[in-house]
Chains A and B, each alone.
Chain A
Amino acid sequence: MRIIILGAGQVGRTAAYHLAREPANEVTVVDINDELLRELQDRIDIRTVAGSGAYPSILEAAGARHADIFIALTNSDEVNMVACQIMWKLFNKDSTRIARIRSADYTRRRQLFEEPERAFAVDVPISPEKLVTEHVVRLIQHPGALQVLDFADGRVRLVGVRALRGGALVGHKLRELPKHMKGRDARVAALYRDGQSIRPTGDTVIEHNDEVFFIAARENIRTVMNEMQKLEDPVRRVVIAGGGNIGLRLAQRLETEHQVKLIERDQRRARRISEQLAATIVLNGDAADEELLLEENIDDADIFVAVTNAEEANILSAMLAKRLGCNKVVALINRPAYAELMESGAIDVALSPQQVTIGSLLAHVRRGDVVRVHSLRRGAAEAMEAVAHGVQGEGRVIGQRIEDIPLPEGVSIGAVVREDEVIIAHHDTVIRRNDHVILFLTDRRHVEAVERLFGARGKRGR
């Protein structure tokens, strides 16, 4: 795939890194800042073009005529939209155009981006802020989970959870899971012990501190969580640090069902968001101020979410909140190295906006009909939802029992969604035409093999 990425910011850089490491992709990054580009080009195998991304001459120089995918990720919604429109009008009507649109004011008017007569040729508007917000909301809905990822419009979820003493299944073999579940079905897709992937079989014993990824229908997730750790109480009190885009969206989503407090340092900003929020208590102050946190009963809070712009501040305030007695702390961290450092103990969940965003980009790069991709474990693993196409009896997937499908090592099928029915995969489940198959890849290097299995005639193959 020939890919053009506009904007070499946090998300743009991560996208370039993830996309360029797949040998089939040719990535060109466009940005105004040529220093940034030079540095980027030294580290990854991409081409860079310096200049304003919405100018036709710059786009042409970046190879717009032959691009398969165009991803506009600059800071400005307007530049992104205009660039997509120019791309469509002047250069390439067949390319897939993805644009980062942050402002909900634009995304709310669907007719701007949807046929017929759309105003801007944006095929897929994405908003990292919105994705991160939803990610946090799912975490709050499932207390105890490290990660909750949606498939098939949320009917199926992949949940990452740490197995802790007190969980019903901890210390037992996996094959006992169905007995505990009383008719409800779930499947363990992957298991990590001390950072190493272990192939889950019926005989695998779940140990304390294992990281377990399981797939289940949405309504069964709580039951499965109970198997892995003592069930936590539903979250009631939420403290958010940082009243930026994410903090504000988060408060808006949560304030009806939860008790939300939001700490914002800038007084004017605090005032502005307090006007936009109904039930949330907006506090003006420093999130790393011990006095303020104690005054606001941080020790009683169920979850503390640090989402300011400064990742160092997020880490420190989350650690402080944890020490002061907050049950669970979440921090937004951009640098993968920091996230790795922190998740090993100091804080409970390290949120990476790029990680959350990259999945929605990857789905469009994949050959074959891949509906959704989630990037996991800082890009090492991947979960994807692929549609089985073709004629019954033809190909290596359709009409086959799962045990007969030649899956590469470390790849497992977790569930199958057939129209509205969720079928948790067993060795004898037969894949039918148009099934949505949910796969878990512990090693993303097998992506190509899986693509080949599912996309004999790729939708946009090279």
Chain B
Amino acid sequence: MNFAVVQRILGQLLMLFSLTMLPSAAVGLYYEDRNWLPFIEAFFGLLALGALVWWPARKTVRELRLRDGFLIVALFWVVLGVAGAAPLLLSRQLDLSVTDAVFESVSGFTTTGAIIFPSIDALPRSVQYYRAQVEWLGGIGIVVLAVALLPMLGVGGMQLLRAETPGPVKDTKLTPRITETAKYLWIIYVGITLSCVLAYWLAGMSGFDAVAHGFTTVSTGGNSTHDAGFAHYDSVAIELIATAFMFIGGVNFSLHFLAWRYRRLSAYFRDPEFRTFVRLLAISIALYTLVLWASEYAQEPAQALRLALFHAVAMQTTSGFVNENFTAWPGALPLLLLLSAFVGGCAGSTSGGMKVVRWLLMWKQSQREVAQLVHPSAQLPVKLGQKPIDMRVVHAVWGFFAAYVVVFGVLMISLIATGEDQVTAFAAIGACMTNVGSGLGEVASNFTSLSDAGKWICVAAMLLGRLEVFPLLVLISPTFWRR
């Protein structure tokens, strides 16, 4: 292990991150919400802290090893989760406890969007903006940003990206140079975000709301500036825009890159994961519409479709935006919606969950087992599109699934132990681990009712979910620390 290098990179990252306090302070000053000072304090505090960490190790230049990569990525997320809580904690207007501040910050970075405030409308503008910005930074990944901006990571950068990027197949680089790849990802991300903001603004949102919602839609985060979420606007146009951009955020960014580079849409339709993603969404939208209409929850088919469309996309891309209380929907729909978050979006997107491609591979593998039973001596490779998939990948997917379920169970039982009922515990951990942020039961609208211990368990769940379990599990395994 090479702690000096880890320390240097972490220090640089903290200094870089301190800069992100400035826009929020500017928003505070502009709207005169008397809450800009905490951001300035946090800026100087984090800058100083970063410099302090960086200075003693500034001269150590060594290539990163695989292990350093895991440690850095885990530390990136943990440290930034805590550092992001600084301005919230420093604000006398909010008067948050440490637990709540860290919960809110981690919920932002992991694009969970679980809410800790009783009322969002009452928050100062600067904080509303800050919550959106944190989600936006966490969306495509902090490490990707670091790799793009700091020419410090060199070859080892690939190890970092791999530990952070969601999905089972991570060896695809868009361009030969890793910094270039990261830059392109960010250019695409910024481009999509800008179009989303513009679309919102044209559809009638205020400039401030358009920016805030643009940030949280493309990052599939789900933080809003209103308690009522999109119901505040009651506009079909705005909901359609939100649906479209949540969907775009839930698609693999390599596909966006290919489509943009070659000016062709065929890249999307050739991708088996994308096709499955679309198919799943279509089935769930049809099903929800049908149930909502048949159960007379919605009076007209159009009304049912509007509700079904928005919530199906919002939940499966793990955005968790709401425009009404879906937990009161008839029958199994609320549970189905929450479960769709476990499927999640595509690998390499901003969404959470377990990713469509993993479910697809598991499905194909079980089909293969059935076929093998019928034809014991047949050669049956698992294929994705036309390409055979290495059995190692399939095994890794199953390993991931097992680890995910075990971690989920452990966290859920711990949460029940803190005094929550089963439904709340299941929904809270589900909402946090899939990074969707909207649960059932007690945590249907916000997480304020949880105990402090319960909140910390949820913080762990959000980080484990965002980093897809293994990078954090690696850190607590003895083999990692053995030399």
Whether A47 pairs with B155 at a CB distance below 8 angstroms is no
Number of interface residues of B (CB under 8 A): 14
Which listed residue (A28, A38, A42, A43) contacts B176, Cβ 8 A?
Answer: A28
Whether B180 pairs with A26 at a CB distance below 8 angstroms is yes
CB distance from A40 to the nearest CB of B (A): 11
Q: B234 in the interface, Cβ–Cβ < 8 Å?
A: no
Whether A45 pairs with B176 at a CB distance below 8 angstroms is yes
CB distance from B107 to the nearest CB of A (A): 34
Whether B175 pairs with A45 at a CB distance below 8 angstroms is no
* Chain A residues in 8 Å Cβ range of B174: 47
Q: Mark B138-158, 1 if CB is under 8 A from A, else 0.
A: 000000000000000011011
Q: Mark A28-44, 1 if CB is under 8 A from B, else 0.
A: 10000000001001111
Q: A46 in the interface, Cβ–Cβ < 8 Å?
A: yes
A26→B184 CA distance, assembly (Å): 15
Q: B279 in the interface, Cβ–Cβ < 8 Å?
A: no
Q: Mark B151-193, 1 if CB is under 8 A from A, else 0.
A: 0001101110000000000010111111010000000000000
Whether A45 pairs with B171 at a CB distance below 8 angstroms is no
Q: Give the nearest-CB partner of A20 in chain B.
A: B176
Whether A27 pairs with B176 at a CB distance below 8 angstroms is yes
CB distance from A169 to the nearest CB of B (A): 39
Whether A44 pairs with B180 at a CB distance below 8 angstroms is no
* Chain A residues in 8 Å Cβ range of B177: 26, 45
CB distance from A445 to the nearest CB of B (A): 14
Q: Give the nearest-CB partner of A16 in chain B.
A: B176
Residues from 43 to 75 in A contacting B, C-beta threshold 8 Å: 43-48
Q: Give the nearest-CB partner of A44 in chain B.
A: B155
Whether A46 pairs with B176 at a CB distance below 8 angstroms is yes
Most B C-beta atoms less than 10 A away, residue of A28, A42, A44, A48: A42
CB distance from A2 to the nearest CB of B (A): 8
Which listed residue (B155, B158, B176) contacts A26, Cβ 8 A?
Answer: B176
A26→B178 CA distance, assembly (Å): 10
CB distance from A42 to the nearest CB of B (A): 7
* Chain B residues in 8 Å Cβ range of A27: 176
CB distance from B67 to the nearest CB of A (A): 13
Q: Please report whether the interface of chain A is mostly helix, strand, loop or mixed according to DSSP.
A: mixed
Whether A41 pairs with B173 at a CB distance below 8 angstroms is yes
CB distance from B383 to the nearest CB of A (A): 16
A72→B157 CA distance, assembly (Å): 28
CB distance from B333 to the nearest CB of A (A): 43
A45→B151 CA distance, assembly (Å): 13
A45→B63 CA distance, assembly (Å): 12
A2→B176 CA distance, assembly (Å): 9
Number of interface residues of A (CB under 8 A): 14
Whether A43 pairs with B155 at a CB distance below 8 angstroms is yes
* Chain A residues in 8 Å Cβ range of B158: 41-42, 45
* Chain B residues in 8 Å Cβ range of A44: 155
CB distance from A195 to the nearest CB of B (A): 21
A377→B174 CA distance, assembly (Å): 34
Whether B175 pairs with A38 at a CB distance below 8 angstroms is no
Whether A26 pairs with B175 at a CB distance below 8 angstroms is yes
A47→B180 CA distance, assembly (Å): 11
A48→B155 CA distance, assembly (Å): 14
Whether A38 pairs with B155 at a CB distance below 8 angstroms is no
Residues from 3 to 29 in B contacting A, C-beta threshold 8 Å: none
Most B C-beta atoms less than 10 A away, residue of A2, A38, A41: A41
* Chain B residues in 8 Å Cβ range of A45: 154-155, 157-158, 176-178
* Chain A residues in 8 Å Cβ range of B171: 38, 41, 48
* Chain B residues in 8 Å Cβ range of A42: 66, 158-159
Most A C-beta atoms less than 10 A away, residue of B154, B155, B159, B174: B155
A44→B178 CA distance, assembly (Å): 10
CB distance from B5 to the nearest CB of A (A): 17
Residues from 61 to 82 in B contacting A, C-beta threshold 8 Å: 66
* Chain B residues in 8 Å Cβ range of A20: 176
A359→B159 CA distance, assembly (Å): 31
CB distance from B381 to the nearest CB of A (A): 15
Q: Give the nearest-CB partner of A27 in chain B.
A: B176
Residues from 241 to 261 in B contacting A, C-beta threshold 8 Å: none
* Chain A residues in 8 Å Cβ range of B157: 45
Q: Give the nearest-CB partner of A2 in chain B.
A: B176
Q: Give the nearest-CB partner of B180 in chain A.
A: A26
A45→B154 CA distance, assembly (Å): 7
Most A C-beta atoms less than 10 A away, residue of B159, B174, B175, B177: B177
CB distance from B263 to the nearest CB of A (A): 13
* Chain B residues in 8 Å Cβ range of A38: 171
A74→B171 CA distance, assembly (Å): 23
Which listed residue (B66, B154, B159, B176) contacts A47, Cβ 8 A?
Answer: B176
A43→B159 CA distance, assembly (Å): 10
Q: Give the nearest-CB partner of B173 in chain A.
A: A47
* Chain B residues in 8 Å Cβ range of A26: 175-177, 180
Q: Mark A127-170, 1 if CB is under 8 A from B, else 0.
A: 00000000000000000000000000000000000000000000
CB distance from A202 to the nearest CB of B (A): 36
Most A C-beta atoms less than 10 A away, residue of B158, B171, B176: B176
Q: Mark B66-102, 1 if CB is under 8 A from A, else 0.
A: 1000000000000000000000000000000000000
A38→B390 CA distance, assembly (Å): 13
A366→B461 CA distance, assembly (Å): 52
* Chain B residues in 8 Å Cβ range of A2: 176
Most B C-beta atoms less than 10 A away, residue of A2, A26, A45: A45
Q: Give the nearest-CB partner of B179 in chain A.
A: A45
A38→B393 CA distance, assembly (Å): 14
* Chain A residues in 8 Å Cβ range of B155: 43-45
Most A C-beta atoms less than 10 A away, residue of B66, B173, B180: B173
A385→B220 CA distance, assembly (Å): 56
Q: Mark B268-290, 1 if CB is under 8 A from A, else 0.
A: 00000000000000000000000
A46→B174 CA distance, assembly (Å): 10
CB distance from B373 to the nearest CB of A (A): 30
A26→B180 CA distance, assembly (Å): 10
A20→B180 CA distance, assembly (Å): 14
Q: Mark A1-25, 1 if CB is under 8 A from B, else 0.
A: 0100000000000000000100000
A26→B171 CA distance, assembly (Å): 17
Most B C-beta atoms less than 10 A away, residue of A20, A28, A46, A47: A47
A41→B171 CA distance, assembly (Å): 8
Q: Mark A204-228, 1 if CB is under 8 A from B, else 0.
A: 0000000000000000000000000
Q: Give the nearest-CB partner of B153 in chain A.
A: A45
* Chain B residues in 8 Å Cβ range of A46: 176
A43→B154 CA distance, assembly (Å): 10
Q: Give the nearest-CB partner of B174 in chain A.
A: A47
CB distance from B160 to the nearest CB of A (A): 12
* Chain B residues in 8 Å Cβ range of A43: 155
CB distance from A427 to the nearest CB of B (A): 36
Q: Give the nearest-CB partner of A3 in chain B.
A: B176
CB distance from B176 to the nearest CB of A (A): 4
Residues from 168 to 226 in B contacting A, C-beta threshold 8 Å: 171, 173-178, 180
* Chain A residues in 8 Å Cβ range of B178: 45
Q: Mark B34-60, 1 if CB is under 8 A from A, else 0.
A: 000000000000000000000000000
A27→B171 CA distance, assembly (Å): 15
Residues from 338 to 355 in B contacting A, C-beta threshold 8 Å: none
A27→B173 CA distance, assembly (Å): 12
Q: Give the nearest-CB partner of B66 in chain A.
A: A42
CB distance from A68 to the nearest CB of B (A): 12
A28→B172 CA distance, assembly (Å): 12
CB distance from A183 to the nearest CB of B (A): 50
Q: Mark A57-100, 1 if CB is under 8 A from B, else 0.
A: 00000000000000000000000000000000000000000000
6 A-B contact pairs sorted by A residue (CB < 8 Å): A26-B175, A42-B66, A45-B176, A46-B176, A47-B174, A48-B171
**Additional A-B contacts beyond A45-B178, A48-B171 (8; CB < 8 A):** A20-B176, A27-B176, A41-B171, A42-B159, A45-B154, A45-B158, A47-B174, A47-B175
- Name B's A-contacting residues (CB within 8 A): 66, 154-155, 157-159, 171, 173-178, 180
Sorted nearest first, the 6 A-B pairs with minimum C-beta distance are A26-B176, A47-B176, A47-B173, A45-B155, A28-B176, A27-B176
